Amino acid sequence: MSVYPYLVAGWLMAVGIIGIVRGRNLVQTVICLSVAQSATYVLLLSVGYQRHATPPVFGEPASKPNFHVVDPVVQALTLTDIVVSATVTALLLSLAIQIHKRHGTLDPNELNTLEG
């Protein structure tokens, strides 16, 4: 297993965070959050990956016990993660739409109802 996917995961998390920190638009902020979350997908899937292994699908009759498959647990985790992500992204985007309706801007630098 190469170290490459782990570097990609770390890089995705880093650019996602940098994007949120430097963001000039709330939609961009939400997208960058999704980018940061993609890091978790890459990390989880690469944890379970094995070279030359098959997908974890067992047909009938029951397969041999030491059948060589990739780890199904992390795939289930990733699916759960994607569902969570869809919910949170949709919610945050709807908030961004409402903010644009009320403030007429999506630039976080121009929102100043909460400070001090």
Partner 1 sequence: MSFGQGGSSALAPLAIAVPIAVAAILQAASERLPRKVVDAVATATAAAVTGVAAALLAASAGGRVVTWSAGWLPHHGFSVGIVLVVDPVGAGVALVAAGLVTLALVFSWRYIEAAGGRYHALMLLFLAGLEGFSLTGDLFDMFVFFELMGAAAYALTGMKVEDPSSLQGAFNFGIVNSLGAYLSLMGIGLLYAHTGQLGLPQLGHALAGHRPDALVLGAFVLVMAGFLVKGAMAPLHFWLADAHAVAPAPVCLLFSGVMVPLGTYAAFRVYWTVFSGTLPPDDVGRAFVVLGTLTGVVGAVMCLGQRNFKRLLAFSTVAHVGLFLVALGTVDADGTAGAIVYVVGHAGAKGALFLLAGILLDRYGSVDEVNLHGRVRDLRVERWLLVAGGLALACLPPFGTALGKSLAEDAAGAAGYGWAPVLFVGVSALTGGAVLRFTARVGWGLGTPPIVESGTTTGDEERETQPLSRVPITMVIPVVVLLAGALAVGVVPGVGRAASAAAHLFVDGAGYRHQALSGAPTGAVSTAGSGWTTGGVLIGLLSAALAVGVAAAGIWSRAVRRRLPAVAVGAPALKVLRRLHSGHVGDYVAWMVVGVAALGGLVGLPLR
CB of 60 to partner 1, least distance (A): 21
CB of 54 to partner 1, least distance (A): 19
- Is 81 one of the binding residues for partner 1 (CB under 8 A)? yes
CB of 114 to partner 1, least distance (A): 4
Residues of span 83-102 touching partner 1 by CB under 8 A: 84, 87-88, 91-92, 95-96, 98-99, 102
- How far is 8 from 37, CA to CA, in rounded Å? 12
- Is 7 one of the binding residues for partner 1 (CB under 8 A)? no
Judge whether 95 and 16 are in contact, CB under 8 Å.
no
- How far is 86 from 72, CA to CA, in rounded Å? 21
- Is 31 one of the binding residues for partner 1 (CB under 8 A)? no
- Is 111 one of the binding residues for partner 1 (CB under 8 A)? yes
**What Å distances lie between residue 19 and 4, 31, 46, 58, 109, CA to CA?**
22, 9, 24, 42, 15
